[in-house]
Amino acid sequence: MEKEDVAVEVIVSESAVFSETDQGWNQVCEALRGMVGADAFQRWFRLATWMGEEDGVAAVAVPGEIHQVWIETNYLPELTNAVTAVFEDVREVNVVLIEVPGVNADGSASHAPARSRKEEEVILLEGEALDKRVKASGLNPANTFESFVVGGNSQFAHAACLAVAKKSGVGYNPLFIHGGPGLGKTHLMQAIGQEILRAQPGSRVIYLTCEKFTNEFIDAIRRGDIEKFRRRYRSTDVLLIDDVQFLGGKERSQEEFFHTFNTLLDGRNQVVLTCDRPACEIKSLEPRLISRFECGLTVEMQPPQMETRLAILKKKAMDWKVRVDGSVLNFLAEKIRTNVRRLEGALMRVATYASLAGESVTVDKVEHLLRDLIREEASRQVSIDSIQKAVADHYDVRLADMTSRRRPASIAFPRQIAMYLSRSLTKGSLMEIGEAFGGRDHGTVIHACKKVTEMIDAEQGLKETLERIESQLRR
């Protein structure tokens, strides 16, 4: 033991040539030795090194997990006191592990590493075994990449999810998928889980809705076995959480989620989240969670275009083995625009009707059959009023300016945009639109539409602006 004492003395005496922080760390060591005793210092802190400080959190590195365990459970108060006495900005001290590749840093007998064992037995799961695992993870076996129809609206999201599932998207963590209801967020997310389960049967995948996460958390608090809850979620390889917007306003759950999230990200475990809006728009969500949601890859899912809607209907009709006339499919795709789930529901209704009634369905019959849906869909159509409000908001002009006679460019241009959107998004006639914009005549509206159409090609970013306003209106 004496010999080791000497070694430390040498380091201390050399400190003059070290930088200021090294000197600081040596002061910490001296203080620590007094607090924990020479034996404990030799045993646990002699090999510890100062990793620096950031935002009031200091890191001290130790060479073995046993050092980490023992210091954290027994000496953290002393270590924190010693550090804060020297480094005044520090509020918290973390004990981290330095990994020495190839060698067990703590010098323990090298147990066969579990990881390599796993890699050897990569056998793709298939059939029933896969089904079982998939169900146990809370996934719906129907939601796979194969069953997803990719269109322009979802191409990017699909590619990102595929990359995550194939582990090639290392930086895509967390993957944050947002978009309106019924656009396939959950489908893609579950597809990631299934693909990972299939390709790496050893991995642990958990899928659950945010609401279930919250409920389980509350249950765990009530039963007092919060540790079990933590282990379950913090030791998983892939965590898929649906509808995170429901975290808004739930402070305890947010905190728990925050820590779970950090643990997983630190361990480089994949986290995938879905939400019905961008992270920054979730109400009463802590800023630190928002910034964490945004630190990976964020992808948006748009409502599908006509062609994609048609493709989805055709695929579904084939999956369900129903024959539906092309004109009917066209009609459905045209009438139901915003929501794929609803689109499938409509097709199901038509198919059921056809099989029950035993007669071929025509567009007229479908229109009658789905009149409630179509009416509802139409009522979701945006009104001129809401367009004016959204555009005024976006360009930061007064709503009254939409109908006023004033014509400076800063007001006239947004007004023209609003007219253009009213023309393309509502069924209002030119007359009605003109009337709504302060009694202008139909020529003014035509002129506005023409001008904006030209501007879309000429001015960069205008198209995106229009799309953004439109998607806001459709929500």
Partner 1 sequence: MKFRISKEAFLEGLQKVQHVVSSRTTLPILSNVLLVAKDGRLQFTTTDLDVGITGSVEAQIEKEGATTLPAKRLVSIVRELPSSEVEVTVDAKNHAQIRSGPSFFKIIGLSETEFPPLPDFEGARVFKIPQQVLRDGLRKTSYAISTDETRYVLNGIFTSFRDGKMTLVATDGRRLAMVDADLEFPASHETDVIIPTKAVQELQRLLGDAGEVVVKLSDNQVSFTVGDSLLASKLIEGNYPNYRQVIPGDSNERVVISREALLETVRRVSLLSSDKSNSVKLVFSENHIEITANSPDVGEAQESMDVSYTGKPMQIAFNPEFLQAPLRALDSEDVYLDLIDEMSPGVLRIEGSFLYVLMPMRVTN
User: What is the binding site for partner 1 (CB under 8 A)?
Assistant: 1, 36-37, 39-40, 43, 64-70, 72-74, 104, 106-109, 111-114, 117, 132, 135-136, 138, 227-228, 230-231, 234-235, 263
CB of 37 to partner 1, least distance (A): 4
CB of 124 to partner 1, least distance (A): 18
CB of 195 to partner 1, least distance (A): 20
Q: Which is nearer to partner 1, 113 or 443 (CB)?
A: 113
Which residues are CB-contacts of 374 (< 8 A; sequence separation ≥ 6)? 335, 336, 367
Q: Which is nearer to partner 1, 112 or 409 (CB)?
A: 112
Q: Which is nearer to partner 1, 78 or 470 (CB)?
A: 78
Q: Which is nearer to partner 1, 111 or 283 (CB)?
A: 111
Q: Which is nearer to partner 1, 67 or 185 (CB)?
A: 67
CB of 467 to partner 1, least distance (A): 40
Q: Which is nearer to partner 1, 96 or 280 (CB)?
A: 96
CB of 35 to partner 1, least distance (A): 9
CB of 284 to partner 1, least distance (A): 28
- Gyration radius of the chain over CA positions: 30
Give bridge partners of residue 239 from the DSSP assignment.
Answer: 206, 271
CB of 379 to partner 1, least distance (A): 39
CB of 128 to partner 1, least distance (A): 10
CB of 5 to partner 1, least distance (A): 14
Q: Which is nearer to partner 1, 240 or 445 (CB)?
A: 240
Q: Which is nearer to partner 1, 80 or 381 (CB)?
A: 80
Q: Which is nearer to partner 1, 212 or 474 (CB)?
A: 212
